Amino acid sequence: MAHWPAGYDRLILDQTDSTNDEARRRIGAPAPLWIAARKQTAARGRQGRTWAAPRGNLSATLLIGRDQAPAELARLSFHASLAVVDLFAHFAPGAEIATKWPNDALLNGKKAAGILLENFGAGAGHKANLAIGIGINLAHHPDPTQSRWPPTSLLAETGTAPAIEEALLVLADSLDHWLGISDFAVIRAAWMARASHLGQRIEARLPDRTLSGTFEEVDVDGALVLRTPDGTLRIAAADIYFPE
């Protein structure tokens, strides 16, 4: 049974523009702080992409202070991905659940969540103010024709959708567990155990080209290792697709 993690404050709003933006405005408040909203009016995903956040879905951000290097902070997306995996496993125990590089968790091969980390810079004690934004499709999902990846929701996959308070409780409990693990080797192993298409052919779409090869692993820095006919490449950022 999930429990609210000790020492965490929470704020549930009826509506806001973006829970990450709300977190930025609340820098200086006691942290760690979970901010959730029943509706977001200006939600966004990676690279500024639009993220649908209607009522019935979970929109939440954890604002924390971390004394870590920027590269280490970026790897916390893997911790967040594992927390989403735990949430899916809790509410959809019979589903196929997998991680997808760099920071996705797939539900029956479809996208039902989004993760956006933003570093707002150093605050008190020189700790970085980090927002870990997580959106979960509980009751709704986008039109598949308008999505870059096949979308779904917990309602579509299981027939039921938890209340946002219940989903936030499970998410907060799980993320607290994973954030308590400082050894990235442990996180990497847990993430790799769930990795979709590990050892199989994938496409890595970069701004200027598309690379095709075998997904070998995620390295110790969190980069994707792709074996191609021209050699093994280390990819720090890309959109990943699975060919038919």
Contact between 242 and 196 under an 8 Å Cβ cutoff? The reply is: yes
Residue in the block written with tokens 């929701």: 153
Q: 210 pLDDT exceeds 70?
A: yes
The pTM (predicted TM-score) of the whole model is 0.94
- Per 3-state DSSP, what percentage of the chain is helix, strand, and coil (rounded to 5)? 30, 35, 40
Is the distance from CB of 38 to CB of 15 less than 8 angstroms? yes
Domains in the chain: ranges and CATH:
9-193 (3.30.930.10), 201-241 (2.30.30.100)
Beta bridge mates, 29: 27
pLDDT digits (tens, 9 = 90+) for 150-168: 999 999 999 999 999 999 9
pLDDT of residue 149: 82
Q: What pLDDT is stored for residue 8 in this prediction?
A: 97
* pLDDT score of 174: 98
**pLDDT surpassing 60 at residue 81:** yes
Question: Does residue 183 surpass a pLDDT of 70?
Answer: yes
15-40 pLDDT, tens digit per residue, is: 999 999 999 999 988 889 999 999 98
| Per-residue confidence (pLDDT) for residue 90, from 0 to 100 | 98
Instruction: Give the other-Cβ count within 10 Å of 67's Cβ.
Output: 11
Predicted confidence at residue 1, as pLDDT, reads 81
pLDDT score, position 53: 72
Report pLDDT for 142. 87
**Whole-number pLDDT of residue 52:** 62
- Please give the Cα distance from 194 to 153 (Å, whole number): 19
What pLDDT is recorded for position 127? Answer: 85
The per-residue pLDDT for range 223-235, each reduced to its tens digit, is 999 999 999 999 9
pLDDT value for 48 = 52
Reply yes or no on whether the pLDDT at 55 is more than 90.
no
Q: What is the mean pLDDT of residues 55-66?
A: 95
Structure tokens belonging to residue 153: 């929701």
pLDDT of residue 121: 87
- Reported as a single tens digit per residue, the pLDDT across 117-151 is 999 988 666 689 999 999 999 999 988 877 678 99
In the structure, what pLDDT confidence band is assigned to residue 76 with cuts at 50, 70 and 90?
very high
The residues near 107 (Cβ < 8 Å, ≥ 6 apart) are 88, 92, 95, 96, 97, 113, 152, 154, 157
